[in-house]
Structure 1
Amino acid sequence: MKNIGLYFGTFNPIHVGHLIIANHMVEYSDLDEIWMVVTPHNPFKKKSSLLDNHHRLEMVYKATQAYEKIIPSDIEFNLPQPNYTINTLVHLSEKFPKHQFNLIMGEDNLKSLHKWKNYEAILEDYQVYVYPRISEGNTITALINHPKIQKVDAPIIQVSSTMIRNAVKEGKNVGPLLANEVWQYIDEMNFYKK
């Protein structure tokens, strides 16, 4: 049975911080693979600067091609919208019964996990791997000590997709913050420049 970590995100764009966390999780935990689950655009929300699903998925493919244990996933693209994490977890567990799925999240998301739809079911059936983030507020003590929550001592990354989009808009060189193929794609497609 493969032990799979699910790393959800809009990846708008995917950057070195995402890759560092994913690689650290797969190399320094008991996870066999990390699936980078590209979250689709919510049709009920204003689009703002969110690129179309296929462009963000393409960037994840480009960023992860050198990492055999980090796999791009478009599994949520065909699920009913708006979607919830519990639905994706159940769907994947039914589709791949020989895999054990686990949730990866930043410490900032753990602080609001108790507000997620069916969060009790997530904690009942799935392990949650938490990487450190610098953020405001406190995590509920019951969640910190929950047996299904495992904190991983990963590097703290202070790079964000928002920061990258803003820097591109300002004409700054963000090459070092992205996989080379992703930076080339963004540049060729003129993404985030307006």
Structure 2
Amino acid sequence: MQQLAIFGGTFDPVHWGHLLIAETALHQVPVEQIIWVPSLNPPHKQAVAFQHRLEMLKLATKDNPAFTVSLIEVNTPETSYAINTLIDLAADYPNTHWYWIVGLDTFQTLPRWHRRHELTQMCDWLIAPRLLGGENIAQSELICKQVEHQLRNQSIIIDWQLLHIPLVGVSSSLIRQLIRERQSIRYLVAEPVRVYIAAHNLYAK
């Protein structure tokens, strides 16, 4: 049985922190492939056009044969739930043990996810601790255990583990802010992504 991981997100833009998370997941579990799933219409967020985010993601991941960018959300309804994404991917990749990579903030919302009882039984969870704010691993682990307890109160048992990633103080919001302030983002994103952002004048306003 193959082992695959889903890494969903807005990726607005994709940066070295995202790449470190995916690379860590490859070797910590290990999984054979990371399937990147960019959000078509991210809820509660204003993001640049999907095509731009998709192209940047392709540029950032093209050199790693273990990275695949999926367009699964393009063919989904306006409201795309995680359970639908996993069901659709499972149809394309049978006989697979699934992992889902999420950031700590997203993991904290899991007790409110649509059809979470089904979803949590279909995959294990790989949680990326916060990269900013000085929060240490022990605090991140405590938060994960609190989420696990909330789910247990809903009669949901989950398998999860923290990803042991180097702490890198970079986020998509920081990159967008630096661009608005006309500051350099070199070495915060992959060089082809930096060139793409400049060529299309993204995030400048």
TM-score by length of 2: 0.84
1:190 aligned onto 2:201: yes
1:54 aligned onto 2:61: no
Query: Which residue of 116, 119, 123 maps to 2:120?
Result: 123
Aligned residue pairs, count: 191
1:41·1:52 contact (CA, 8 Å) conserved in 2?
no
Q: Any idea what the Cα deviations from partners look like across 1:136-180, whole Å, max 9, x if unmatched? A: 994334269955222232223331111101110110000110100
Gaps of at least 5 residues in structure 2 are none
Q: CA, structure 1 residues 7+140, in 2 after alignment: closer, same or farther (shift >3 Å)?
A: same
Q: Describe the SS at the equivalent of 1:8.
A: strand
* Matches of 1:2 and 1:46, distance apart in 2: 34
Q: Which moved more, 1:53-62 or 1:88-97?
A: 88-97
Q: Describe the SS at the equivalent of 2:187.
A: helix
CA RMSD of aligned residues (A): 2.3
1:86 aligned onto 2:83: yes
* Matches of 1:160 and 1:143, distance apart in 2: 28
Q: Which moved more, 1:138-147 or 1:100-109?
A: 138-147
Q: How far is the alpha carbon of 1:72 from its aligned partner?
A: 1.4
Q: Which amino acid in the other structure matches residue 6 of structure 2?
A: L
1:163 aligned onto 2:174: yes
2:121·2:158 contact (CA, 8 Å) conserved in 1?
no
Q: Which amino acid in the other structure matches residue 10 of structure 2?
A: T
1:24·1:154 contact (CA, 8 Å) conserved in 2?
yes
Q: CA, structure 1 residues 132+93, in 2 after alignment: closer, same or farther (shift >3 Å)?
A: same
Match of 1:142 in 2: 149
Match of 1:5 in 2: 5
Q: How far is the alpha carbon of 1:47 from its aligned partner?
A: 6.9
Match of 1:108 in 2: 105
* Matches of 1:54 and 1:98, distance apart in 2: 31
Match of 2:36 in 1: 36
1:86·1:118 contact (CA, 8 Å) conserved in 2?
yes
* Matches of 1:47 and 1:152, distance apart in 2: 26
Q: How far is the alpha carbon of 1:2 from its aligned partner?
A: 2.3
* Matches of 1:30 and 1:144, distance apart in 2: 26
2:40·2:74 contact (CA, 8 Å) conserved in 1?
yes
2:148·2:158 contact (CA, 8 Å) conserved in 1?
no
1:143·1:149 contact (CA, 8 Å) conserved in 2?
no
Match of 2:95 in 1: 98
Q: How far is the alpha carbon of 1:71 from its aligned partner?
A: 1.5
Q: Which moved more, 1:17-26 or 1:153-162?
A: 153-162
Q: Percent identity?
A: 29
TM-score by length of 1: 0.89
Q: How far is the alpha carbon of 1:10 from its aligned partner?
A: 0.8
Gaps of at least 5 residues in structure 1 are none
Q: Which moved more, 1:153-162 or 1:14-23?
A: 153-162
* Matches of 2:55 and 2:180, distance apart in 1: 21
